[in-house]
């Protein structure tokens, strides 16, 4: 369904978002980019982002902005929507490309699989075009939903910090300039400015977890737990996360970390002498330092690994176990060695 975005009697944005100064603040971190890929689906959020980027680019000498739409191959309307975005981008003088997610689709976990495929395809396109930055239209409401979903899954502090405004992804700088903007504000902006957009019916499909959480948000807001407070909570968690990671890094350095990549070793006594949360982060940082990716690792398994190491250290006994794709060994001298788990043992 297409919304023509005709001007309506809605209040203007509460600040100078469309002024030169407002656009400069919004996209300040993009000035040094070699190129920018903007992910645009055609919905009001990403449509507003595309128009704001076009206004910003027209106001001065800017890096090239490339618009990309991912066709996940999950809805027949996606082809028409991608063509709509291509037309709108062309009218703004922005090059556009539709990228199809090819191959078989999983029977379960389709949203997560689609998300991973989307970022991979966007990154491939950006690298091929020589772009250094990826921009997406995540909003304040998206942040609140993400925090609640991760809380329900039992995430640790890292997950509850929500999405970062800037992060590294597939060798790109991933920027979310609208992370502090409510969706309603972007919708009003599109309609007041006459920016056309599309309505994605999957956003109302209760089969998807995020849609179900979106339906619960008004009930939470009525009790005071609105998007603004959840986003503020995520900011505070992110600050605590940063401080704890720094303390864990200092502890790992004191533990005499040796080796670059695999194998990696350090004095395991630091795991027993530090508070549990710091010990947990020491092991996580060591695993990452050994070249292991923790994106799909369950926090409770790493927590259990720290508990086992602390118990073995207290008893003066050696220990060997696998976690997050790594083989972790504690010898009788109390030294921990980490290397990738041998393929023949993976999954045991």
CB atoms within 10 A of CB 73: 15
Bridge-based pairing of strands 65-71 and 96-100 is: parallel
Verify that 159 and 282 share a domain, yes or no.
no
Residue in this structure with the two tokens 């407002």, named with its chain if needed: 22
Q: pLDDT band at 3, cuts 50/70/90? A: low
d(CA 141, CA 234): 12
Verify that 204 and 331 share a domain, yes or no.
no
pLDDT at 12: 39
d(CA 89, CA 51): 9
Q: pLDDT band at 299, cuts 50/70/90? A: confident
Verify that 132 and 19 share a domain, yes or no.
yes
d(CA 316, CA 334): 7
Q: pLDDT band at 14, cuts 50/70/90? A: very low
Identify the domain containing residue 308 by its residue range.
255-345
Give the pLDDT mean for 70-76.
Answer: 87
Residue 292 predicted with pLDDT over 60: yes
- pLDDT tens, position by position, 224-234: 999 999 999 99
pTM of the model: 0.84
The two structure tokens encoding residue 307:
């508990």
pLDDT at 74: 82
Instruction: Assess if residue 247 is contained within a domain.
Output: no
Verify that 259 and 328 share a domain, yes or no.
yes
Residues paired with 330 in a beta bridge: 319, 336
Instruction: Assess if residue 249 is contained within a domain.
Output: no
Verify that 29 and 114 share a domain, yes or no.
yes
Verify that 61 and 184 share a domain, yes or no.
yes
Residue 2 predicted with pLDDT over 90: no
Q: What is the mean pLDDT of the chain?
A: 89
Verify that 47 and 135 share a domain, yes or no.
yes
Residue 11 predicted with pLDDT over 70: no
Instruction: Assess if residue 245 is contained within a domain.
Output: no
Is 282 in contact with 255 (CB distance < 8 Å)? yes
Alpha-carbon dihedral angle through residues 293, 299, 305, 309, given to the nearest 10 degrees:
100
Beta strand residue intervals within 127-181, DSSP E? 133-135, 166-169, 172-175
Domain CATH number, residue 317? 3.30.465
d(CA 18, CA 13): 8
d(CA 169, CA 175): 10
Q: Per-residue DSSP letters for 131-184? A: --EEE----HHHHHHHHHHHHHTT--HHHHT---SEEEETTEEEE-TTTTS-HH
Residue 261 predicted with pLDDT over 70: no
Structural domain count, the chain: 2
Give residue 88's Cα distance to chain centre: 27
Verify that 52 and 173 share a domain, yes or no.
yes
Instruction: Assess if residue 246 is contained within a domain.
Output: no
Residue in this structure with the two tokens 């508070």, named with its chain if needed: 275
Domain CATH number, residue 192? 3.40.50.620
Is 284 in contact with 266 (CB distance < 8 Å)? no
Q: How many CA within 13 A on the CB side of residue 78?
A: 15
Q: pLDDT band at 297, cuts 50/70/90? A: low
Instruction: Assess if residue 237 is contained within a domain.
Output: no
- pLDDT tens, position by position, 145-190: 999 999 998 888 989 999 999 999 999 999 999 999 999 999 999 9
Q: pLDDT band at 341, cuts 50/70/90? A: confident
- pLDDT tens, position by position, 110-157: 888 889 999 999 999 999 999 999 999 999 999 999 999 999 988 889
Nearest partner of 101 among 88, 86, 116, judged by Cα: 116
């Amino acid at each position: 369904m297409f919304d023509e975005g005709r001007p309506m009697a809605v209040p203007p944005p509460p600040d100078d978002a469309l002024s030169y100064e407002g656009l400069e603040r919004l996209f300040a971190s993009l000035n040094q980019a070699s190129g920018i890929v903007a992910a645009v689906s055609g919905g009001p959020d990403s449509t507003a982002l595309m128009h704001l980027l076009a206004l910003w680019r027209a106001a001065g000498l800017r890096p090239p902005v490339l618009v990309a739409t991912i066709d996940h191959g999950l809805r027949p309307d996606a082809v028409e929507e991608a063509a709509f975005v291509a037309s709108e981008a062309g009218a703004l003088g922005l090059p556009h490309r539709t990228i199809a997610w090819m191959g078989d689709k999983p029977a379960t976990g389709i949203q997560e699989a689609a998300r991973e495929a989307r970022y991979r395809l966007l990154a491939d396109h950006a690298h091929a075009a020589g772009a250094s930055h990826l921009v997406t239209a995540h909003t304040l409401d998206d942040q609140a939903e993400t925090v609640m979903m991760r809380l329900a899954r039992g995430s640790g502090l890292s997950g509850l910090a929500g999405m970062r405004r800037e992060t590294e992804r597939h060798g790109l700088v991933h920027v979310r300039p609208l992370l502090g903007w409510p969706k309603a504000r972007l919708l009003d902006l599109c309609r007041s400015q006459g920016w056309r957009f599309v309505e994605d019916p999957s956003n109302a499909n209760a089969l998807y977890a995020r849609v179900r959480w979106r339906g619960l948000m008004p009930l939470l807001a009525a009790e005071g737990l609105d998007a603004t407070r959840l986003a503020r909570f995520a900011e505070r968690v992110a600050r605590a996360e940063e401080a704890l990671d720094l303390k864990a890094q200092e502890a790992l350095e004191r533990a005499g970390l040796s080796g670059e990549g695999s194998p990696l070793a350090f004095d395991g006594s630091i795991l027993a002498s530090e508070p549990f949360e710091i010990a947990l982060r020491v092991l996580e940082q060591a695993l990452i330092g050994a070249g292991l990716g923790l994106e799909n690792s369950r926090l409770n398994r790493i927590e259990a690994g720290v508990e086992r190491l602390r118990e073995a250290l207290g008893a003066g006994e050696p220990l060997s176990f696998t976690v997050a794709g790594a083989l972790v060994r504690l010898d009788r001298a109390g030294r921990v060695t980490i290397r990738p788990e041998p393929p023949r043992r993976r999954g045991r």
